[in-house]
A and B are shown apart, each in its own frame.
Chain A
């Protein structure tokens, strides 16, 4: 949801005729633009018949927002995206020859590769909700809406539409709403969100200072040159090989009560608790980066997109005295301390679900968290790398026994080291602040590819 996106990177600096020749009218808007939505709904669907699935898709194509349409029309009230699992493409009737051209990780799906991602223990797919680990998960309809009223109108409209499509059934759904106050994006733990997003070359946006150069479109959209040249491993036929993307969906519950209790255990004063929270993330909850302001919060800096990404680690904080080596942001974006960074970029979309838990209130046991999509052109090289090597590798930066303190799979046996002079602080037995409640890999085809899929016939 992007109501809070005003002021985030994305200042148009290139005249339209100087923008790269991306097919803005064919690429789904999802990874290209962030509409001003305060509510969302994800619907997970299954197709009992290929014909029914294709009928559903046929009627929905006109409602899918393209990068061109969403980027030029700010009066819209809802934005629709459609994606398919590999099983879903098969359920639509795509030929086995074509199915075989998709990359192995997509063919296998997230649930089958949970071990590779480090998604184990309570996060294991056997515990997932909503049928997300099921081979019957075929499609997702992502609705972003300007407000809850519009979302409910669309929900009802889609419900009526699905009833008309024989064999199409709703497996599960998730409603999302932004957390107040709405003037900045944040999640249930209170951290400012959406501070660091890659800029796509040719889209016409200027990266914020410190964010690095724009990334080749082929890192996110099939059929375009990527950072190493022509992209590899394109699906066939050609209709599917251009303007599509892969997204990894993660429904991540946030244990707000446990998080706040942890802060209380490790900080005697509110200021100390904020310090611990900042060290876990690598930024103060205001968004101010620890590298730039290691000793005290600076909310103005956190909100200033011209400054809040303007830092590196290699020369400004090599030992992690400001931003710990194992903190969340240092793992998920090691900046100048990792190689091939432009081959690891990801675009994140999504929002928060569940009611916010007021400060001072005991955890009510209601599920709340983040339901996010990570978009890229290669799940194995980009998303799975981030999970396998950055989030869940205990040896990251030679730490030895640590995982991402916020997002990594924690079971009480890993640590968190906070470099500090003269002696570092080590927190032993970090609890799990989050649990993965579901996930899936989806292919977001371009509009022409959607029409191709809708035009398939049985036995083709």
Chain B
């Protein structure tokens, strides 16, 4: 566990000094993460507790929880609910600054577990707070209701959701990125720029 806590992004700042080329997106990077998920001397302190470190693959989590027996089909049905919600409003989850979200069901000793894995650009606490509101509006929360331990007062108590996510988070011990530390917004801006240049070249014909 942490030996010291640093304010938001101070940890990144000091890492940037120590790790030359950290911000160089052209050089792929990997980061080995100690047991427990934190670097003892670089713990970013969040509002609800220590924040798992930002890695070349940005912020993220792997939340694993047991599925309430008999509710597995419920999860599959709600995958369609989520698909529909995003189709109707593609920018609905944009506030989460997520690169990717993955929902996985797997079995251990015949019992179902769900892993919810995300890669995103905001810190863990902000993600959870924003997600608590958005999920409630989209129906996504219904999927989580199939998990053991999901807080009954999630709709009105963001702190309860943060607590659930923290208690069910399994930190990575290694993360890698082909384009380290690049945010989703930067990727989208680059693609927009490419499209703009393509348009410009078309107009020059």
Inter-chain contacts of B122 with A (CB < 8 A)? 389
Interface size range of chain A in the complex: 20 to 34
Which chain A residues lie closer than 8 Å to B10 at the CB level? 120
Q: Which of B46, B47, B95, B134 has the most CB of A within 10 A?
A: B47
Within 8 A of A (CB), among B119-164: 121-123, 126, 129-130, 133-134, 136, 153, 155-160
- Residues of the A chain whose Cβ atoms lie less than 8 Å from the Cβ of B47: 105, 116, 380, 384-385, 388
Contact of B156 among A231, A385, A393 (CB under 8 A): A231
Stretch at the interface among A142-150, A222-230, A438-446: A222-230
A-facing residues in B1-37 (Cβ within 8 Å): 5-10, 13
User: A101 in the interface, Cβ–Cβ < 8 Å?
Assistant: no
Q: Is A339 an interface residue (CB 8 A)?
A: yes
| Known A116-B47, A380-B47: A340·B8 in contact at CB below 8 Å | no
Contact for A398 among B46, B134, B160, B183, CB less than 8 A: B183
For the residues of B in contact with A, the DSSP-based class is mixed
* A384-415 near B? 1/0 per residue, CB < 8 Å: 11001100111100100000000001000100
Also in contact, A228 and B155, with CB within 8 A (given A105-B47, A339-B130, A388-B47):
yes
Min CB–CB distance A224 → chain B (angstroms): 12
Assess the B153–A118 pair: CB atoms within 8 A.
no
B88 CB-CB contact with A under 8 Å: no
CB of A164 within 8 A of chain B?
Answer: no
Residues of B within 8 A of A339 (CB): 95, 130, 133-134
- Please list 18 pairs of residues, one from A and one from B, whose beta carbons are closer than 8 Å in the complex, sorted by A's number: A115-B6, A115-B7, A116-B7, A116-B8, A116-B45, A118-B8, A228-B156, A232-B153, A232-B159, A339-B133, A380-B48, A384-B47, A385-B126, A385-B129, A389-B122, A389-B123, A389-B126, A395-B9
Which residues of A are in contact with B by a Cβ distance under 8 Å? 105, 114-120, 226, 228-233, 338-340, 343, 380-381, 384-385, 388-389, 392-395, 398, 409, 413
Going nearest first, the 5 A-B pairs with the smallest beta carbon separation are A232-B157, A339-B95, A229-B156, A115-B7, A228-B156
B residues sitting closer than 8 Å to A (CB atoms) are: 5-10, 13, 45-48, 95, 121-123, 126, 129-130, 133-134, 136, 153, 155-160, 183, 185-186
